[in-house]
Each structure stands twice: as structure tokens, then as C-alpha cells.
Structure 1
């Protein structure tokens, strides 16, 4: 019996052993869906509460007045009390840590439930997280095996399972080191009903991953933390599902008529042999438009026609900066500008929408490098540029190298002073790079050489406008953002949140 079917059969049992409540903010989490499936397969009951955090998105944008007006906190606490959970589970990013910690304390007070914190922040600074009074347990790394084992521990006692930390008599108690699932095909398919039941916006597209982990060692990325975390287990950080397992899940998903598929793999093109086998089968058996993240290596441009033929409509590339040596030295990314240019042109020629990610406020950036980056994009123009300011996350090699410099309260949307360049010049390049794909082709080189013309305010408003001006019809990121906000705003106005 396929793992996905096994999970669905067991979730229909009438006498759940424990009640686990997932509490999440805003957007769909494939990780939480996998955890829910694993818990249901073990005979437990799960539920999800969404705090949309409207106008209060950590690291992106905040409007305190609007956030108070559209707050869903009271309704969320009422629903938590009605569910009466045994365990409340939070998957936490560094930017959402203050929100999760405050809400966990309120849910503990309202329900008496114990809490478990997972996610990258909890894995990066576990010692700090477990010391908080609102946190009873910490799950390190992937929780597919650890969270059901924790539920078993809470039912029957015994030592803490691998990957779980807890407390006893005021002291921290640690289970064995975490060991992630080595064979992804053995996992139940993700519990897609969890988010769809919370809001219909989560049923418009299908989130899936064919792999976990990453082949690269980018100095600013969470995968550097996970790689060290799993080292003792002997399980490789990068693991891939079989093509058959992925296709079986997608064939079942087609019954729900999703408008598109989004592959969340860190690097969808990490295994070209796998892709060459998978893409024709995907076209034959799934036949849904899809988007993905890819690394701009020397082979991506040649793969573009096959991606397009299979239904790919959008690829997001990580560029981050122009200087190749600094890109490799500071960021740990080894990519040639010639390969990036070829990937942009090859993907666009195949009819695929191309987005490029970029980081400003780097500690070794210069005006000359930013000018070169703008010139590069004037000649090799993607459909959209995503531009962020550097944010240092705990546990990453880049944070250790740069020291404990504080990030700006605005997070990714404003410079924190890591760069030697003045904030005004960085904001000008933020605006220039964001708008460059919107400008007529004949004018791009002219404007790329004149960043001073773009010194006006940028930020999230500019990002949203640029996305709306030109985006794929089935764009996962912008589409979900717009649908989520409209859904929860109207729910609040109707008195349902």
C-alpha cells in the first residue's frame, strides 16, 4: 500500500490518541502538512489555526493601525480553547519568533496545552528557545519522525525521542541527536486538507517538493544549519523522492483541480538525470502548469525547452550579486555570470517567466559592483527582479563572519548598515533594479547608468506594483498574497475572524 494511502486510512480512525494543534501565520507550509500526515498516520488528531498577521508580516511590512484593526488574535484563542489540544505546535522562523512566543503563552494559558517549537529558528538557537517559559519542547530539524515520537512519549512516558529537547524540574533534558527521514518515499503524502479547510485560498494551487535539502552551501541560508545538524546521523542533507512517488501524489492531487503546481525544492535542477526522466512523465501524467526554483548553472539554459514542454511557466533564479569572486567567497555561491546570462535568455526564449533574486547591503559591496549588476540586467533582463536587503540569521556562517550586527526593524525591506554605502544609494539601486524589467528595452542601459534618478522611496509598495504590472497568470507568490489578504480581510469584516 502506498505511504499516502496508509496515512489516509489511519486518519479515519474514530478514536484519536492525542490532539495536536498547529498554529501558523499566513502562508501554506508544506512542512506542517507533512507533520500532520505523520501524526494522523500514527492515529492522532490534528487541526490548524491560521493567524494571517494582516499588515503585520515580520521582516516585510507593518502598519500598526491596520494590524490592530484586522487582528484575528481573539478569534484564534477562542478556537484554540474549543479544540482543547494536548499539544500546540509552532514552526518558527527568526522573523516570526516574537509572534510565536507571545501567542504560545496565550494558548497555554487558555487551553493548558503543552507547546513544541520547531522550524529553522528553533533548530538554530535551540538553547535560547527551550529556556522560554512558553516553550515546553523543541524539535530540531525535520519532525516527521520526531513529532509522532514526542506524542508517543507524552502518552506513555519514557526517554525523550531523537531530535526532541524538553524540561524536567527546571532543567533542560535533551533527546539523542536528530536524524531526518532517509527515504522520502516512505513518508505519508502531505495532509493537504489541513490548510484547505482553514481557508479556500489554499486550494487554488498545489505545493509539492520532490526533494529535501540542498547541494550548495550558501553562507546565509538555513541549509548550512541543517547540514551541520544532521552530520552525526549520517543521513545526507540532500535527499530526493523517486519520480514515481512524486507522480503518484500529483495524480491524486488532480482530483482537486488545482490551477497550478509549485515545486518548493531548494534547487529543482540539482539532479539532471532525475529531471530528464521526470519531465516527460510529468507532462504525460500530471500535465499541470508549474513553477520552481533553480540554480543558474551551466546546464540550465539547455534544459529550458524540456521544462517549457513539461508545463513550466516560471523559474526563480538566485543571483544575489554581480562579483563572481565575492559571490563565492562571502556568500558561498559558485555561479558564473555567463551561465546566469545564458539561463535568463534560454528560459525566456522558451516562454518561461524568469525572476532573479538579489541581495543588497552586503558588507563588501561597492558602488562599482552595483553599477555592474544594473548593467548586467540591462543586457540580460529577467521578467522580474526580487531585491532584498541583507538579513543575518543566527547559526549561519555569514552571521558568524559578520558578527552580531543588528538588523533593521524593517527586516528585508530596508538596509541595516552592513554595507559601506549610504542607505540612500542602496535604496536607489533597490528601486532601479526592481523597475529595470518594466522599462522599455531601448532605455535600460541609459537608466542603469543613472541610479540617481531612482532615489525616490521604494520598499514593499514598489515591489507589489512591479509584480502586478507583469506576472504570470498563475503566480504562486503574488497570487497567494492577494488571495490571502482579500479572504481574511472580508472574513474579519463579516465577523468570522
Structure 2
């Protein structure tokens, strides 16, 4: 069969590992797979390339907020190719399976999709019934919905092929980017209220947090380095630091066989001196730590992330002492957010000497504990269709001082780079008597920030720059394309 995966340009800052792993499974079994992107601006939408491919089945991996965009595009395709079938999967369909009632959708996958997708495609190609494919909700010919139970989580991740990294060759910004994205495992055992993990834990049977064998991870790194010219590995596991014994096996092997710098996502409360030493000795050049919010009460009582300021400071120092850059993940506009807590988030980053800050505005994804809390607090009356397409845009909840909190969030990069400006503006913004004075000053800073996109500490364009290590990596790749690059847009690495 011929299968097309449609991906929105908004998410194509890096390779979509879910869709490309499913693509690899299908290719492994002899099916023809291709990938297509939807331009960000709808005036540039075209269906010509997909129509020319002549797919039998079109798949979408959908996050909440992008669901209406994808379905609008699917309707355009249906106008030109009425006979293809549509399957949707990913977070949004998994947590809102009633999405199957949307017109033009034929199948909906709940949970991980490699084996349900393969079984569906094999059955369709052989002309066999598909009504009993585990993990799928199926729109029957009479319009009724058949809801099959989900499969158990695949426990042997080595049984899956590597993601179809040939995907990158179709998109020059990924093909020529020296950064590779991969995961050593799947799942996260924590229950932060803003995240989907507490829902995913019970979505399918079996252990949720799983690891690939070190040898399997190293083999993929070799492929990325030698076949695709990558020279920096960005591990995307939610909590790379969760299992120290696993890292003691993986990382020395990585240093010996791969020898390239890498990025890892860590948690401040399980980073130890021994682990920091191991990371530094094996080539870790940048660590990502989720600060979320600078107010401990909000982190503890609302976000259920019980990490203290002292733990953030200590873990940051461990990294700085070993020459590892610190990138922090921060979230503005959560329930309970105030002007003071928003400023505290920036202040915590300054105290921890963060090298790069990434900000997100809280999105009340229905089904998460924090979205339920926001609704109960009267801060959100919208539906899933009212959630923005991107979580970098603006404060969503109806918070007191919403406009000021939104402005502080958008200025966080600038204020991290100019801590003296922050210290002048902070008391003005915190004091209600002087807040009216602070607001135009903050707007002036925002204008300057947008006009220059300049960082005093790291140079033009730094907020999205790849780690310095990318451009100092050893000549360990087999292609010259990546080594000849200048800076590239890379918001998450």
C-alpha cells in the first residue's frame, strides 16, 4: 500500500520520531511511505504533491491545538481524492477518541501506533476485515463506531526499527542541520499536573517507562552520524537522568563508539555529582531542565513538581562547574500565576545562570489535571477547539493581570540577557502603585527586543542557537554538508 503522513510545519523544528518510526515499520514490511508538510500560512497550502503520490491511506499524528488545521487540510485532499482512507493518532486522538466522529476520519489509533498501523495496512492490502484491529477505533459503513481495546505497551523497544531518518532528506532545514534527535526510551514516571503522562500511564497496559538496550541506541547513533552526517545528538527522553545504572552502561559506550557531543533532559532532584561527572566525561554539552515556574508554592501545590529552588541552584552549579550549558523550560500563565510568580520565574533563571531559556504558555489540554483545575477555578471556559495551535503565543487563561503576565513571559529572554534591566523593572512591576509606570517600560523593552533580536551575552540570534559544541565537534561524520553549516534555527536543542 501507499501511505502518506501529513505533518504541520509548526512541529517540523525537528524530526517527528513517532510518525517516522511508524513509517519505518511500514517500509520494513514492503509498503511505500512518503511524508508531506503543511505550510504555516494557509495561503500557501497546496495538495498537488500529495495527489501526485496517490496514497491509499493518509495518516496524521495530531497534538491538541493543531487538530482543526489537519482536518481542514484533509477536507481539501478529499475534494481532489475522495477514495483515500484517513487514520489519526498521537496525543489528541488518544485522549479525545470522540474525535473519530469528525468528518473524513475513518480510523483512530489510541496510544502507540506502530503495530496497530501495520496490522491495519496489511489487512487493507489483503482485503481482509479490519474491524478487530486492537488499538483502533473504526468508523463502520453504517456510521457506527467500533472501539477496540488498546494494545499493551511494547516492552521490547529493540523490536522496533529505528525511525525512518530518510525523512530528513526531504526537508533541507533538517537534512542540513547537524543536530540529530533520538530517544533512548519511552515514558516518564512522574505525575506533573500539566503533562499528559499521568493519563498515558493508564492508557495502555504494561510498564510505561521503558528503555532500549544501550547497543541498540549506539547503532542508531552510528547511522545518524555516518549515513546522515549528524555531529550532535539531542536525546529527547523526558527524564534521561532517571536511571543512573542504565546511563553507566550507555554513556561510556557512547563515548567510545560515537564520540560526539550530546544533549540530555534532566531533573534537578535526581542529578548527582557522580551523574554530572559521567555526563561531562562522555560528551554532554547541554542539559535541559524544566523549571516550569519560579514560585515554589505553585510548583508544589499546583504543578505537583516538588523541586525546591535550592535543588535547582545546586543542579545548575553541578552543570556549570563541568562546562555543561543549561537550557531551561519555563511555563507562564498557569492557574495561580501572578505578576510576582512570573517575575520569580525569570529571577530563578538569572540566579541559576541559565544559558538559554525556552518559554511556553500554559495550554489547558482537557483531561489533564491542571486543565480541570483551571476550569474549576473559573479561569477557562473554552473547549478543546479554542486552544491555540502553538504554546509559545500568549497567555490563555483569564488571569488577573493577564496582559502584564503575558508581556513578562514574552520578555523573559531579554530580561535573562539583561539582568540589570530586570532588577530595575521587577520592583516597579511588583508594586501595584508603580505598575502603571512599569507597563510602558516593559513595552519599550519588548519593542527593543523585537527590533534587534539581540543577546548581549551570546550574540545575534542566540536564543535559538545550537549548542556551541555543534561547531566544535570532531570530524566524525561521513558527509561534508553538515560540517559546512552556519547557525541554524533550532528552538528545542
TM over 0.5: same fold? yes
Q: Residues 321 and 301 from structure 1, CA distance in 2 versus in 1: closer, same or farther, beyond 3 angstroms? A: farther
Q: 376, 381, 384: which is aligned to 1:405?
A: 381
1:339, CA displacement in angstroms?
1.1
Kindly indicate whether residue 213 of structure 2 is the aligned counterpart of residue 242 of structure 1.
yes
Query: 2:174: which partner in 1?
Result: 201
1:275, CA displacement in angstroms?
1.1
Query: 2:22: which partner in 1?
Result: 35
Count of aligned pairs: 442
1:333, CA displacement in angstroms?
1.4
Quick one: distance in 2 between partners of 1:89 and 1:244?
A: 31
Structure 1: tracts of 5 or more residues without a match: 1-17, 57-66, 484-497
Q: Residues 44 and 408 from structure 1, CA distance in 2 versus in 1: closer, same or farther, beyond 3 angstroms? A: closer
Quick one: distance in 2 between partners of 1:172 and 1:463?
A: 54
Q: Indicate the SS of the match to 1:145.
A: helix
Quick one: distance in 2 between partners of 1:347 and 1:327?
A: 22
Q: Bigger CA drift: 196-205 or 100-109?
A: 196-205
Query: 1:164: which partner in 2?
Result: 136
Q: Indicate the SS of the match to 2:202.
A: helix
Q: Residues 330 and 181 from structure 1, CA distance in 2 versus in 1: closer, same or farther, beyond 3 angstroms? A: same
Quick one: distance in 2 between partners of 1:463 and 1:319?
A: 27
Q: What is the RMSD computed on CA atoms of the aligned residues?
A: 2.8
What is the correspondence of 1:294-373 to structure 2 with a 5 Å cutoff? 294-300=266-272, 302-373=274-345
Quick one: distance in 2 between partners of 1:377 and 1:108?
A: 48
Structure 2: tracts of 5 or more residues without a match: 430-437, 472-481
Query: 2:475: which partner in 1?
Result: none
Checking the alignment, whether the CA contact within 8 Å between 1:201 and 1:480 is kept in structure 2 is no
Q: Residues 101 and 381 from structure 1, CA distance in 2 versus in 1: closer, same or farther, beyond 3 angstroms? A: same
Quick one: distance in 2 between partners of 1:405 and 1:48?
A: 36
Kindly indicate whether residue 462 of structure 2 is the aligned counterpart of residue 469 of structure 1.
yes
Quick one: distance in 2 between partners of 1:462 and 1:342?
A: 36
Q: 388, 397, 413: which is aligned to 1:434?
A: 413
Q: Indicate the SS of the match to 1:195.
A: helix
Q: 184, 190, 209: which is aligned to 2:163?
A: 190
Checking the alignment, whether the CA contact within 8 Å between 1:371 and 1:449 is kept in structure 2 is no
Quick one: distance in 2 between partners of 1:336 and 1:463?
A: 35
Quick one: distance in 2 between partners of 1:458 and 1:300?
A: 38
Q: 48, 68, 78: which is aligned to 1:98?
A: 68
Query: 1:23: which partner in 2?
Result: 6
Q: Indicate the SS of the match to 1:322.
A: coil
Checking the alignment, whether the CA contact within 8 Å between 2:415 and 2:421 is kept in structure 1 is no
What is the correspondence of 1:441-460 to structure 2 with a 5 Å cutoff? 445-446=423-424, 448-451=426-429, 452=438, 453-456=441-444, 458=446
Quick one: distance in 2 between partners of 1:216 and 1:482?
A: 27
What is the correspondence of 1:58-73 to structure 2 with a 5 Å cutoff? 68=43, 71=44, 73=45
Cα displacement string for residues 417-472 of structure 1 (whole angstroms, at most 9, x for unaligned residues): 3433x1232134325532233126x7764554444342447499589655823542
Kindly indicate whether residue 20 of structure 2 is the aligned counterpart of residue 50 of structure 1.
no
Quick one: distance in 2 between partners of 1:463 and 1:131?
A: 47
Checking the alignment, whether the CA contact within 8 Å between 1:136 and 1:166 is kept in structure 2 is yes
Checking the alignment, whether the CA contact within 8 Å between 2:346 and 2:416 is kept in structure 1 is no
Q: Indicate the SS of the match to 2:92.
A: helix
Q: Indicate the SS of the match to 1:385.
A: strand
Query: 2:184: which partner in 1?
Result: 210
Q: Residues 386 and 167 from structure 1, CA distance in 2 versus in 1: closer, same or farther, beyond 3 angstroms? A: same
Q: Indicate the SS of the match to 2:88.
A: strand
Quick one: distance in 1 between partners of 2:78 and 2:90?
A: 19
Quick one: distance in 2 between partners of 1:198 and 1:372?
A: 39
Q: Indicate the SS of the match to 1:228.
A: coil
Q: Residues 94 and 461 from structure 1, CA distance in 2 versus in 1: closer, same or farther, beyond 3 angstroms? A: farther
Q: Indicate the SS of the match to 1:23.
A: strand
1:394, CA displacement in angstroms?
2.1
Quick one: distance in 2 between partners of 1:292 and 1:253?
A: 17
Q: Indicate the SS of the match to 2:403.
A: helix
1:320, CA displacement in angstroms?
0.9
Query: 1:425: which partner in 2?
Result: 404
Q: Residues 427 and 380 from structure 1, CA distance in 2 versus in 1: closer, same or farther, beyond 3 angstroms? A: same
Query: 1:60: which partner in 2?
Result: none
What is the correspondence of 1:114-129 to structure 2 with a 5 Å cutoff? 114-127=85-98, 129=99
Q: Residues 38 and 458 from structure 1, CA distance in 2 versus in 1: closer, same or farther, beyond 3 angstroms? A: farther
Query: 2:199: which partner in 1?
Result: 225
Q: 348, 353, 367: which is aligned to 1:376?
A: 348
1:101, CA displacement in angstroms?
0.4
TM-score normalized with structure 2 length: 0.82
Cα displacement string for residues 311-350 of structure 1 (whole angstroms, at most 9, x for unaligned residues): 2222111111123343132112121221111122221222
Query: 1:179: which partner in 2?
Result: 152
